[in-house]
């Protein structure tokens, strides 16, 4: 009997193909503990409250349903328990997503699922058609990540129904279905939540036994099954019996049997009190004998007394010596199969042993050796040679503990780590275990902050000692270092953080890149070090903004790098350098682009990237090959002298500018200040167009390497002459706060297309920069939302929403103001209108007398039209891009500018579409007209109301309930007009009296409009005064409304 027992132990546990090997699939996942399962079974709220956060996370679907659904138990004790459950759930963030899942219309979801099942049966199980989920744009995992709660339910339900359908058609043949949803470790918990909610809300569509059977066919199925049963603890016996009943007679012979055994063992570990009962089900059904042996051995391990051994003997002897022939035959087959496998393994071991003894022991020893075993062997040899004793390797574990916990403690290691020299010229070519690996692990474990050891200097020195190709450990090192700066090691000690790199240390890395007289400045640090420091600064600022609320709640405010520092870093130049070194820099270039697009969108304008391709293309390269030494000899001082000779001498300036176009962007940096400071001279009359276009070209080249500094210098240079005398200089911060400063330039810029192109480019960039600045400012001041929210009855979300709305309103006002200013620039000035008309008359007179002499006049007119037209094209191109980026700007500008057109269009739409929404918009239009009546001047009032008053008739025709409001508005208009002319004439009262009578007694005067006397009396006052004409228009409008209403009746 004991030989059989020992064999059964080896067959169930030691066999390579057994459940133990299959359990490795879920080895890294956390299962529901027996303590937690028992608490769920008994709904013991006190035990549930004692669970840790990871254990409680697995039980959230059931707890949230208990808290939200109406209970059958209306007792007072359950009410108290429900309060405790709600309090327990209030601090868990994942509860919100589960509540969203429960808010879905499950009836409609069940109907769609039934239709999909019918479609699958009709078209076949392999059909790709799905009613629940439309055609996927991406993979299941990506779709699951981007989807809301209803779509997540549909994705999981569609995948689960497909697996269940395939199981029903497989005729017992096992298969393993590959599914991204059930395999991705990132979304396992969220997918499990969706699965539990689906089964609980759709029990008829998804029977729990069928769902359990389907989960055996996916990776991590045992884990999902345990979570499903833990959230429905009453179904434990039902699920176990169903899995055993559908199992194989000999579970060790197939992959499906081993996976089924693994799942049932996990279930019994979760509920050990029912393990022997499950074993009884195994014997009753005569399925899965390996499971019965495994459960017996597990039970024996848990039992420390001799009773466990006696139970084991009774179980095995009962199977082998019992009177049930069916059970005896079934278990005997299992024993015989195991003996065959054991015999084959023994034969294999004999062959290996025989081969080792005969042939290749040295080669086999080399294969079995490893660095770890070599170290142990060396230690053993030293000990044997000195002490002449034999020590087993297993006894060295105590020595390891002594070294790591008593001699070389964590504090000693961290103190020594900062004194280890950095790796010189660190790159990916240097392999092996380096100091950077040790520092990285110590940073992750927060050892430096725990023991108050400063690691900042070591990291700074290592970043400066880098070269290409980039070492893969550098970016993770920077990320974990930033995390250690912002996040304290523990809540009890919030000050335990590392120190950030100082601003002076950062500036030292970028010395020589800001430009100067030398075209090739000497750089102390490599481009790799500069890019890494730039990555550190951008990542630090982004992480600081992302954690502002958390830091404010902890009453911590880490230092942020100043805007002056960011202005001195040539970000765009460094990004250009990184673009050419993408292969050597690994993922650094893409990481920098991501940070740049988030924090500095004005440096990621698409036009700039296209311009860079033109500058660095083949044509530019060929032009630089023609570069002569004469062109290189031009200095910024010579360029300044050439500008000072304007407008008398253009030749020297043109020659120098043409030579400068052959230089690269980096070589042009020393000329930037001279070029921008003299832009105001280019606005004088008589400057050739070619000079303007060349300056524009050079400016665009410089914009690829130093855009922010270039924009500030250009805006200050193009100020009106009055501001230049005052020496009012704007800074980068001023322009980000108010981007419209760019348009407060000299008015002559508006008629210089090359300079206007530069101005529009800067305006677009600063509008984007302003949005990023306001977003960052909102995050920086997030602590202001926390303080008032504590005493706010509306909740902590109210201030945030208000601040966000104010920010959006400010951005919309900026954009609309910029659009309206640009539209005004497109309009010709009074001088241009006069000059154009006089030129046209002169052209006609000249053409009538002499034909050949009119060429100069045509050239003058064409030149004027060309400048205006070109500026209009440039502005319209920018407006078109702004409208595409944000269509709401079109609506905002439209209703701010074109009131008359909006009201006229609305009148036609109300007649065509008499809908409730049209009624509300019409009522809004009437209110706006009433408001404008009180603010418009006499001339503007006449210009606005004369074309819009007839629209009121259409409003009354479409919506009769608006009659009273419209009549009141018309009487108010008449009264306002009468008050303006009251000081001039006293014969205006008859019209006002008639208007009042028309409002009070419309039925008595409804027929007067057809009588000629009344028509004549309504127009007996003929005057050129606009108020009189407007009042007459009001009278005729009222009469038309009355006639329309009477004819309608």
Structure-token match 């034999």, residue found = 390
Q: Which of the listed ranges 98-112, 312-326, 832-846, 1010-1024 does the model predict with the highest average pLDDT?
A: 98-112
pLDDT average, residue stretch 214-232: 91
Using CA atoms, how far apart are residues 1031 and 253, in angstroms rounded to an integer?
A: 101
For residue range 615-630, list pLDDT tens digits in order: 665 665 666 566 555 5
Is the pLDDT confidence value at 908 over 80?
yes
Average the pLDDT over 152-157 and give the result.
Answer: 88
Nearest-angstrom CA–CA distance, 838 and 846: 12
Rounded to whole angstroms, how far apart are CA atoms 970 and 1039? Answer: 11
Q: In which residue are the tokens 């702004």 written?
A: 882
DSSP annotation string for 184-244: -TTSHHHHHHHHHHHHHH-TTTS-HHHHHHHHTTBTTHHHHHHHHHHHSGGGHHHHHHHHH
If one compares 845 and 1035, the residue with the highest pLDDT of the two is 1035
Domain ranges of the chain: 39-98, 109-228, 371-405, 408-599, 603-780, 831-892, 898-1048
pLDDT band at 919 (very low <50, low <70, confident <90, very high): very high
pLDDT of residue 520: 44
With tokens 């001498």, the residue in question is 649
Give residue 927's pLDDT band: very low, low, confident or very high (50, 70, 90). Answer: very high
pLDDT band at residue 381 under the 50/70/90 scheme: low
Cα–Cα dist 669/654, whole Å: 19
- One DSSP character per residue, 388-400 reads -----GGGGHHHH
pTM for this structure? 0.55
Q: For residue 912, what are its two tokens?
A: 């065509």
> For 14, which DSSP code?
I
Residue 1016 has pLDDT above 60, yes or no: no
Does position 8 have pLDDT exceeding 50, yes or no?
no
128: confidence class by pLDDT, cuts 50, 70, 90: low
Give the residue carrying structure tokens 């840790």: 52
Compute the distance between CA of residue 865 and CA of residue 850 in angstroms, rounded to an integer.
23
Residue 489 has pLDDT above 60, yes or no: yes
SS3 call for 426: strand
- At 531 the three-state DSSP class reads helix
203-217, 419-433, 579-593, 771-785: the lowest-pLDDT one = 771-785
Q: Do the beta carbons of residue 95 and residue 60 sit within 8 Å?
A: yes
On the question of a cis peptide bond just before residue 552, with omega within 30 degrees of 0, the verdict is: no
* Statement: residue 259 has pLDDT above 80: yes
Phi then psi for 442, rounded to 5 degrees?
-65, -35
User: Given this model, what pLDDT does residue 950 score?
Assistant: 92
Does 757 score more than 90 pLDDT? yes
Quickly count: other Cβ atoms within 10 Å of residue 900's Cβ: 15
Confidence band of 635 (pLDDT split at 50, 70, 90):
confident
Helix, coil or strand: residue 493: strand
Return the higher-pLDDT residue of 839 and 730: 730
Query: In the prediction, which pLDDT does 1004 show?
Result: 54
Q: Which residues pair with 218 in a beta bridge?
A: 177
Q: How many other β-carbons are positioned within 10 Å of the β-carbon of residue 896? A: 13
Helix, strand, coil % in the chain, rounded to nearest 5: 75, 0, 25
| Tokens standing for residue 644 | 């000072």
Higher pLDDT, 814 or 400: 814
Residue 13 has pLDDT above 60, yes or no: no
């Amino acid at each position: 009997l004991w030989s059989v027992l020992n064999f059964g132990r080896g067959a169930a546990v030691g066999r390579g193909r057994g459940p133990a090997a299959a359990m490795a699939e879920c080895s890294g996942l956390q299962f529901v503990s027996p303590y937690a399962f028992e608490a769920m079974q008994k709904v013991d709220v006190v035990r549930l409250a004692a669970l840790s956060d990871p254990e409680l996370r697995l039980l959230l679907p059931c707890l949230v349903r208990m808290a939200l659904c109406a209970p059958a138990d209306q007792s007072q004790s359950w009410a108290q328990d429900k309060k405790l459950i709600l309090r327990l759930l209030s601090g868990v963030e994942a509860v919100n997503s589960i509540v969203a899942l429960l808010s879905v219309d499950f009836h409609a979801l069940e109907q769609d699922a039934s239709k999909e099942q019918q479609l699958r049966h009709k078209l076949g199980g392999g059909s790709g058609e799905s009613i629940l989920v439309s055609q996927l744009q991406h993979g299941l995992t990506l779709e699951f990540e981007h989807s809301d709660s209803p779509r997540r339910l549909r994705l999981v339900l569609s995948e689960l129904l497909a697996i269940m359908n395939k199981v029903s058609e497989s005729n017992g043949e096992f298969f393993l279905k590959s599914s991204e949803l059930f395999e991705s470790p990132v979304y396992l918990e969220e997918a499990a939540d969706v699965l539990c909610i689906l089964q609980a809300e759709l029990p008829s569509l998804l029977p729990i036994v069928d769902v359990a059977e389907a989960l055996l066919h996916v990776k991590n199925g045992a884990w999902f099954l345990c979570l499903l049963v833990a959230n429905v603890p009453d179904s434990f016996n039902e699920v176990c019996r169903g899995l055993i009943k559908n199992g194989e007679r000999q579970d060790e012979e197939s992959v499906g049997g081993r996976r089924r055994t693994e799942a049932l063992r996990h279930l019994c570990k979760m509920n050990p009190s029912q393990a022997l009962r499950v074993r009884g089900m195994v014997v009753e059904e005569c399925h899965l004998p390996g499971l019965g042996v495994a459960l017996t051995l597990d039970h024996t391990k848990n039992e420390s007394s001799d009773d466990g051994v006696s139970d084991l003997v009774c179980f095995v002897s009962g199977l082998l010596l019992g009177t049930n022939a069916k059970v005896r035959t079934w278990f005997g087959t299992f024993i015989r199969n195991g003996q065959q496998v054991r015999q084959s393994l023994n034969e294999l071991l004999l062959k290996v042993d025989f081969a080792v003894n005969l042939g290749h022991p040295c080669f086999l020893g080399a294969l079995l050796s490893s660095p770890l075993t070599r170290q142990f062997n060396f230690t053993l040899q030293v000990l044997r040679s000195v002490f002449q004793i034999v020590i087993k390797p297993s006894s060295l574990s105590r020595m390891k503990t002594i070294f790591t916990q008593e001699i070389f403690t964590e504090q000693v290691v961290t103190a020594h780590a900062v004194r280890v020299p950095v790796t010189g010229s660190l790159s990916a070519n240097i392999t092996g275990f380096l100091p950077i690996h040790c520092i990285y692990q110590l940073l992750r474990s927060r050892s430096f902050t725990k023991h108050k050891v400063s690691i900042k200097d070591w990291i700074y020195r290592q970043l400066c000692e880098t070269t290409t190709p980039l070492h893969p450990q550098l970016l993770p090192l920077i990320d974990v270092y930033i995390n250690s700066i912002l996040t304290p090691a523990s809540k009890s000690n919030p000050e335990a953080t590392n120190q950030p790199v100082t601003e002076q240390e950062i500036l030292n890395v970028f010395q020589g890149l800001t430009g100067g007289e030398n075209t090739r400045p000497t750089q102390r640090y490599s481009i790799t070090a500069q890019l890494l420091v730039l990555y550190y600064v951008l990542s630090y600022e982004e992480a600081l903004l992302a954690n502002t609320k958390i830091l404010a709640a902890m009453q911590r405010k880490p230092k942020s790098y100043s805007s002056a520092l960011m202005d001195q870093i040539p970000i765009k130049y460094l990004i250009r350098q990184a673009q050419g070194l993408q292969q050597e820099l690994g993922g650094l270039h893409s990481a920098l682009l991501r940070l740049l697009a988030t924090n500095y969108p004005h440096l990621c304008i698409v036009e700039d990237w296209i311009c860079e391709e033109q500058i660095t293309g083949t044509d530019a390269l060929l032009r630089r090959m023609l570069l002569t030494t004469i062109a290189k000899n031009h200095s910024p001082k010579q360029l300044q002298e050439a500008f000072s000779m304007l407008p008398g001498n253009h030749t020297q300036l043109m020659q120098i500018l043409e030579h400068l176009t052959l230089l690269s962007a980096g070589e042009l940096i020393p000329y930037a200040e001279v070029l921008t400071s003299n832009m105001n001279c280019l606005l004088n009359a008589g400057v050739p167009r070619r000079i303007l276009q060349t300056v524009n070209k050079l400016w665009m080249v410089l914009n690829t390497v130093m855009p922010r500094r270039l924009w500030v210098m250009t805006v200050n240079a193009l100020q009106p002459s009055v501001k230049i005398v005052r020496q009012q200089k704007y800074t980068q911060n001023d322009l980000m706060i108010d981007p419209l400063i760019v348009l407060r330039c000299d008015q002559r810029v508006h008629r210089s297309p090359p300079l206007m192109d530069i101005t529009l480019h800067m305006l677009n960039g600063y509008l984007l920069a302003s949005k990023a600045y306001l977003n960052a400012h909102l995050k920086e001041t997030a602590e202001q939302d926390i303080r008032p929210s504590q005493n706010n009855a509306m909740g902590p979300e109210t201030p945030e929403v208000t601040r966000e709305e104010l920010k959006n309103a400010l951005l919309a006002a900026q954009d609309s103001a910029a659009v309206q200013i640009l539209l005004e620039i497109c309009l010709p000035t009074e001088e241009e209108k006069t000059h154009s008309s006089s030129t046209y008359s002169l052209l006609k007179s000249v053409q009538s007398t002499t034909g050949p002499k009119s060429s100069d006049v045509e050239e003058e007119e064409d030149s004027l039209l060309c400048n205006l037209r070109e500026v209009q094209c440039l502005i319209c191109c920018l407006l078109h891009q702004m409208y595409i980026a944000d269509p709401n700007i079109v609506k905002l500008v439209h209703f701010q500018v074109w009131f008359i057109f909006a009201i006229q269009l609305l009148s036609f739409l109300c007649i065509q579409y008499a809908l409730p929404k049209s009624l509300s918009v019409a009522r809004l239009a009437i209110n706006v007209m009433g408001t404008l009546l009180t603010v418009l001047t006499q001339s503007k009032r006449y210009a606005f109301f004369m074309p819009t008053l007839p629209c009121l008739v259409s409003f009354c025709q479409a919506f009769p309930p608006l009659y009273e409001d419209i009549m009141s508005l018309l009487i108010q208009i008449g009264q306002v007009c009468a008050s303006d002319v009251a000081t001039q004439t006293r014969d205006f009262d008859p019209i006002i009296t008639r208007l009042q009578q028309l409002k009070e007694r419309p039925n008595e005067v409804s027929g007067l409009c057809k009588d000629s006397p009344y028509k004549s009396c309504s127009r007996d006052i003929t005057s050129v005064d606009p108020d009189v004409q407007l009042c007459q228009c009001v009278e005729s409008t009222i009469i038309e409304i009355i006639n329309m209403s009477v004819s309608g009746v």
